[in-house]
Structure 1
Amino acid sequence: MSKSLLHIEGLIVLLVTIYFYASMDWSWWLFFLCLLVPDISMLGYVINNSIGSTIYNFGHTYVIPLMLIILSIVLNQDKMLALSMIWIAHIGMDRTIGYGLKYPSNFKDTHLQKV
């Protein structure tokens, strides 16, 4: 049950983020171009599993993009807000399909499932 709930939560985050992105009338080219950018954090696995999981998890937690959203609102930076929304959409998309935060044991070991 809790695993399904986490997948549903990811889907809701993805859909809500897309809704707000669309309501701001931002570029869909930018959205699709940047949607997979957080996956660059997988390159940390070239070094080793421990560093790879740390870097990957850094790029796949909600904390940083949420802080950037607050900062972009305070500074009135629309482009930063758009990129932060795309980042959150990416995380929601990953959670929806089962990619979670990584354990240092192996790339396939996540908090949602074994990929």
Structure 2
Amino acid sequence: MMIKFILRAENAVILISSIYWYSFCQFNWIVFAVLLLAPDIFMIGYFVDKTLGAYIYNIGHTYVLPVILLVYGLYTAQQTFMMIATIWIAHISLDRTLGFGLKYGSDFKDNHMQNV
């Protein structure tokens, strides 16, 4: 029970930090609102089957790709990449704060946050 709380709190801090970073960079809040749920497009694999769905969903819901995109955006001073990466990180951290985690191939409802 305590571990779930810690994981959710940790992701809440990441969510707050990403929102702060977004504000600090003075990015457009309308874009934030429009794109916040965009990473859920990674659910598309579930139209084929649960295993493929979980695999594709998990690719889009780990911090690896958005952090790489953020670092690339910082390195090249490309604000669009930084903005998209920050929204993506906010989405993942919001999901995890709410208890939605990486999916298992057994069912869409089965995720790593439940099994901690």
Separation in 2, partners of 1:100, 1:94 = 7
Q: Match of 1:11, as an amino acid?
A: A
1:52 and 2:69 correspond? no
Match of 1:66 in 2: 67
Match of 1:99 in 2: 100
The structure carrying a bigger strand percent of its residues is 2
1:82 and 2:115 correspond? no
Report the RMSD for the aligned CA atoms in angstroms.
0.9
Question: Among the aligned pairs, what percent are the same residue?
Answer: 44
Separation in 1, partners of 2:5, 2:44 = 29
Query: TM-score, normalised on structure 1?
Result: 0.96
* Structure 2: gaps spanning 5 or more residues: none
Query: TM-score, normalised on structure 2?
Result: 0.96
Match of 2:16 in 1: 15
Q: How many residues align?
A: 114
* Structure 1: gaps spanning 5 or more residues: none
Give the deviation of 1:60 after TM superposition: 0.3
Separation in 1, partners of 2:30, 2:93 = 19
